[in-house]
Structure 1
Amino acid sequence: MPTPSPAPAQPSEVITWKFQGHPAAGDRYHVTVQRASEQITALSGGRLVVEPYTGGSIYPKTEEVYGVDAGILEMGMACPMYSLDKFPQSSLFDMMSGGLTPVQMFLWHLRGGGDELAARMWESALNVKYIASVGHLPPELWAHSNRELKTPTDIEGLKMRCAGEGGEILARMGAATVFFPADEIYESTQRGVLDAFECASPTINWGFGFQEVADYLYISPSRAPTDCAHAWVNRDAWEELSPDLQMIVESVVRNVGHDFYAESVVMDDEYIVKFIDYGVKVELLPNAIVDEFLKVSMDYYDEKCAADPFYAEIVESMRAFKAICDKQDVR
């Protein structure tokens, strides 16, 4: 008697997630959302299909963590400092002026206690699972400007788009600071609403067309030695995943972030040359401004630490890890 053929395997249940990141369609940072979505879908064998969305497609851009909290998005990504109004410690996870370099920041998140501190901050207040940092950037460009900057007095009255605590420090130096999403900078500068702005990296900013609207580009790691985004998953959606799918999500987010940083280092060298060739005056920020900025920032962080124990815990963790890196010349 012939052996019966085995019944065909039943297809696994397919889970579909919406993943929105803060970058607009023209922002190169959006590739991290696209790549993470593609890789999670592929490595899961199609069991977890992640659909990428640009900022504002489903939920207001820069507010993705709240869309994840509400369950409108299963997954989201944004710079932590965009939530500074509700999470006063959040900007530290982007950067600390005069603090950790991109490599040090990545290592601190991974093995220095940064991920644990981030999880405490986000998960204690929201229905989210913090996954990891995504896409650390090289030191952020200090400023694009239509006013020449020579001394600290040139900062006074400067109408400047800033984000996070770097903007608060600049405000203490007399800048008239304002924040709005990156894709609104071009028009605001073109119309004279802004004298200057801080934003991202040469590669990303060339894509925004900033070479067309600002005469000067000032470089210094003092304000933002690095920058990154955090990724979150709705807590209920996370707990519905099997352990292997959870591992895939975590691994992909980290890998995409590492790859994006390495790629950015290579591409930024090319795009700095493009800015110069276009006619933008690319200069190092004068030491007089750097020194004053770092002095004001030290006072700022000391005041914040004195007023907020959790803030102080994060700063102390970062400073201790920087000391470890400095002893081993890890830059």
Structure 2
Amino acid sequence: MYKMTRIAVAVGVCAGITTFSAMADAAEKEWRMATPWSGGPWLERDAQMFADRVNQLSDGEIEIEVFPGGTLGSALRVTNTVKSGVAEVSHNYINYDYGSDPTTALLAGHSSGLTPEEFMLWMYEGGGAQMYEEYRRDQFDVVAFPCAILGTEVFLHSNKRVETLEDFQGLRLRTSGAWSELASRLGASTVVMSGGDIYSALERGVIDAAEWGSPEMNRPTGFQEVAQYVILPGVHQSGGFLECQVNEDTWNELSEDDQEMLRLAGKLSVFETWLASSFADLEAYQELIDGPNEIVHLDQEFIDTIYEETVKWEDEYAADNEWFARVLESQRDFKETMNTWPAYRLPIGTMGR
């Protein structure tokens, strides 16, 4: 009898362990993350950083595997990949959906003059993040929130010297999103192509110039090796965001605590990518200064013309697009608030020089 009791207890314990293990396995969520990125900091640092933060904050319950661009669907149609459920989550650039709705340009960053720091303030204190999430759900049926910051970009890596509006006329320019439309209005001949094709296009003279990212982002591309001029400042993209998207059904299955945890992981990633990218840009830009390229600064009159054309473009879309008008009004109100900033805040990088 004693022996049979021990066997029964052992069987019961094993059954309990098996049941607990099954419950633990059921509780774990293994998600696939789609991205447009073939490599570089956006894939290897920023996307992975968000995945790691989610795993950490969920105590290991949610594990995200990051996939490079093109492996789970089209690199430029990541939103569709998430919406369809092929991937549960993504790391993406909202401006790739510009063809569906130009409002995406306002949320990604465009020639509006918002710096990365201003963008973060607007997102987290000016209501931008809530508006972002509401917009994505309303127009694209995915849940999305910021999860990485974009630094000020290099205006052009170019084989033609560009300083004035006249220099810009007829320039064969690789770009995308809103700047493709605005650059065309300013006289450039724009070409949309994926990042992986830019180097060879510059090298073979298919294009004269290209814009892509900040000094850190451009360094591994080698654009500086095949284009003589580095044109500054990046008024076409003075700051912006990358987003993380979650499939709507996947999101709705989560508890409110887990949903808030994902937003928090995004916010932490924004802060951490701001630190990492800002610091990395310093070294990358110094390499451009010390290298064989010629640094060219845009004429102020050309910069003013870009901003004037941007305002016209904004007003035109706001007249016919309710979401565009709503986001634009919020950003313009925020800019008015920021007008007093220079009166009491010292400019970064100039004191004691």
TM-score, normalising length from structure 1?
A: 0.92
2:317 counterpart of 1:307: no
Q: Against the structure 1 CA distance between its residues 96 and 126, is the aligned structure 2 distance closer, same or farther, given a 3 Å change threshold?
A: closer
Task: Please give the per-residue CA displacement for 1:83-141, whole angstroms capped at 9, x wherever unaligned.
Answer: 011122111111131332211111212231222322232211333112x2122122111
State the match for 1:10 in structure 2.
Answer: 20
Q: Extract unaligned runs of 5+ from structure 1.
A: none
2:20 counterpart of 1:20: no
Task: Please give the per-residue CA displacement for 1:50-71, whole angstroms capped at 9, x wherever unaligned.
Answer: 1111111211112111111111
How many residues in Structure 1 have an aligned counterpart in Structure 2? 328
**Cα offset, 1:232, TM superposition:** 0.8
2:71 counterpart of 1:57: yes
2:333 counterpart of 1:320: yes
Distance in 1, matches of 2:262 and 2:168, equals 43
2:148 counterpart of 1:138: no
State the match for 2:215 in structure 1.
Answer: 202
Distance in 2, matches of 1:319 and 1:125, equals 22
Distance in 2, matches of 1:255 and 1:293, equals 33
State the match for 1:118 in structure 2.
Answer: 132
RMSD: 2.2
**Secondary structure of residue in 2 paired with 1:61:** coil
> Which is greater in Rg?
2
Residue pairs, 1:54-203, within 5 angstroms: 54-130=68-144, 132-203=145-216
**Secondary structure of residue in 1 paired with 2:41:** coil
Distance in 1, matches of 2:244 and 2:334, equals 23
Distance in 2, matches of 1:165 and 1:326, equals 25
State the match for 1:276 in structure 2.
Answer: 289
**Cα offset, 1:293, TM superposition:** 1.5
Q: Which has the larger share of helix?
A: 2
What amino acid does structure 2 have at the position aligned with 1:107? Answer: L
State the match for 1:233 in structure 2.
Answer: 246
Judge conservation of contact 1:63–1:78 (CA < 8 Å) in 2.
Answer: no
State the match for 2:4 in structure 1.
Answer: none
**Secondary structure of residue in 2 paired with 1:302:** helix
Distance in 1, matches of 2:69 and 2:189, equals 26
**Cα offset, 1:325, TM superposition:** 2.2
State the match for 1:298 in structure 2.
Answer: 311
Distance in 2, matches of 1:287 and 1:126, equals 38
Q: Extract unaligned runs of 5+ from structure 2.
A: 1-8, 348-353
**Secondary structure of residue in 1 paired with 2:66:** strand
Q: Against the structure 1 CA distance between its residues 62 and 44, is the aligned structure 2 distance closer, same or farther, given a 3 Å change threshold?
A: same
Out of 249, 253, 267, the residue aligned to residue 254 of structure 1 is 267
Task: Please give the per-residue CA displacement for 1:276-312, whole angstroms capped at 9, x wherever unaligned.
Answer: 2221112222223212212222222222222323212
Distance in 1, matches of 2:218 and 2:48, equals 19
Distance in 1, matches of 2:290 and 2:278, equals 19
Give me the identity figure in percent: 26
Distance in 2, matches of 1:106 and 1:290, equals 24
